Amino acid sequence: MSPHTVTNYQRDLKQLLAFCNQHDLAGWQVIKSSHIRQFIAQLHRQGLAGRSIQRSLSAVRSLYRFLIREGLAENNPAQAVQAPKVEKRLPSTLDVDQMNGLLEGTRQDSMIASRDRAMMELFYSSGLRLAELASLNIRDVDFGDHLVYVTGKGNKSRVVPVGKQAIKALQTWLTKRDDLNFFDQTALFITQQGKRLGVRSIQKRLSFWGKKQGISDHVHPHRLRHAFASHMLESSGDLRAVQELLGHADISTTQIYTHVDFQHLAKVYDMAHPRAKKK
């Protein structure tokens, strides 16, 4: 598990422990499904979002799987408890014109601008997550075959194509990067002080360029990843390919991240449905 996931699970289980202390539940063996339902209801009353409640329930189930394996519990009281349904919301995206304006408007006339343009081109070209891009090293980019080697969630690796414009922007950035003389630093994206650029700094840089280009909604790395997925799906209609490119283990996750515009849906319908086909 990633450190972020571990921290969240710790927080969830501390909440469970506090609940047990409030209700004089002195051991894991005495907790029943009714207690877990009370716990979930309490989280709901506290205003916790449905997705966070689902994660808390997942943490409790994982805990009990461990306890059963260690002989400290006989059954899993959280197994039969259902979390509240979560509304599937599509992340906001940028259309093709907005993306082109954002990228073309970021001129590569300085070291910082060159770096930022390369980052944004790579986000949009390859659909990388923020943490994936931040952890890239120079050797992870294959300039000959136009590929990037990515380590994603769960330490899973994948290889993703890199577009010509992104390759060109990366080469321009690396030329300017060499002028800084930090040849011992392996990170692909660095600060003027030669340190690896952190995730918070990347977020701030994208927000800066979004405001500079007059884009009303906040520009952040996930919006570029979502734009990549949306535009790829709208053009190809190949959900499986987009799933592979994004590094999703479950295709249902890809369906949440991506959307097909109505024009594309109507076209597919007209071509495929027997009663819609024109003679």
Token pair for 32: 């029943």
Q: Around Cβ 39, how many Cβ atoms within 10 Å? A: 26
**Residues 6+ positions from 74 with CB-CB distance below 8 Å:** 29, 68
Give the residue numbers annotated as catalytic, written as ranges. Answer: 129, 153, 222, 225, 248, 257
> Amino acid letter at 14?
K
Burial classification of residue 173, based on how many CB atoms lie within 10 Å of its CB (0-12 exposed, 13-18 middle, 19 or more buried): buried
Bridge partners for 169 per DSSP:
none
- List the 147-151 sheet strands across, edge first: 141-142, 147-151, 157-161
Question: CA 251, CA 248: separation in Å to the nearest integer?
Answer: 7
Sign of the torsion angle spanned by Cα atoms 178, 183, 187, 191: negative
